[in-house]
């Protein structure tokens, strides 16, 4: 089945809903401009509600080493999801923190698709944000999935950008994605997760990948 990550969890209700739905990963956003941002201490308190639950992914945007260190001092992140970090920096952070690294890539045209991923555990393909966006992801924006036809993925990858419970099955069928990532698509308002939408998204993703 296709696996599903629920990102941007910032409340007890949200993380409880994601775990109950059977999410394969849970994500915390450590980027203050995002309406889903959370502090490491708050993320640790939420993660403690489900000890031994789904792997925890920390999302960072062009982070310093100190920012990642602060997050890891507060909670045990299983994966570092890095936005606006070049391949060499991503590989260096993987070595520095001894954690799997997912490198986000912003896609607008076929030329944006990566052809190599040295030192990277997975790629996250997201839509290139609008010019006036304050954050690289979580903009409810999708890219043209047909761009992936014939692409030779250099590493495992996740599909993100504009996914919802209504379109995730079609997205998986169209792209062959084995994993998907959602944030705004399961919200009732920016930064406010909806339990029913989370459950519907995870169910649809799991069913579509069978």
Residues 6+ apart with CB under 8 A from 26: 5, 6, 9, 15, 18, 19, 47, 50, 53, 54, 55, 56, 57
| Residue from 7, 24, 181, 194 carrying the catalytic annotation | 7
> Is 112 an annotated catalytic residue?
no
Q: Over the Cα atoms of the chain, what is R_g? A: 16
Report residue 105 CA to chain centroid gap: 11
| Residue from 78, 86, 121, 126 carrying the catalytic annotation | 126
The upper half-sphere exposure of residue 68, i.e. CA atoms within 13 Å in the direction of its Cβ, equals: 26
> Is 132 an annotated catalytic residue?
no
Q: Which sequence positions are flagged as catalytic?
A: 7, 126
């Amino acid at each position: 089945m296709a696996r599903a990550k629920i990102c941007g969890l910032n409340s007890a209700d949200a993380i409880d809903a994601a775990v109950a739905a059977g999410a394969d990963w849970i994500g915390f956003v450590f980027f203050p401009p995002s309406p889903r941002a959370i502090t490491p201490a708050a993320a640790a308190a939420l993660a403690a509600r489900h000890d031994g639950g789904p792997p925890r992914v920390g999302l960072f945007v062009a982070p310093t080493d100190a920012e990642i260190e602060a997050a890891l001092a507060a909670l045990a992140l299983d994966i570092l999801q890095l936005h606006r970090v070049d391949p060499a920096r991503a590989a260096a952070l993987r070595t520095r923190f001894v954690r799997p690294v997912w490198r986000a890539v912003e896609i607008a045209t076929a030329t944006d698709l990566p052809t190599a991923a040295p030192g990277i555990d997975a790629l996250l393909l997201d839509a290139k944000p609008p010019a006036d966006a304050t954050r690289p992801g979580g903009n409810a924006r999708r890219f043209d999935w047909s761009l992936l036809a014939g692409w030779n993925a250099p590493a495992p990858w996740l599909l993100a950008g504009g996914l919802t419970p209504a379109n995730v099955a079609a997205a998986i069928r169209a792209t062959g994605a084995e994993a998907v990532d959602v944030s705004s698509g399961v919200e009732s308002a920016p930064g406010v997760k909806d339990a029913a939408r989370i459950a519907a998204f995870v169910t649809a993703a799991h069913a579509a990948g069978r």
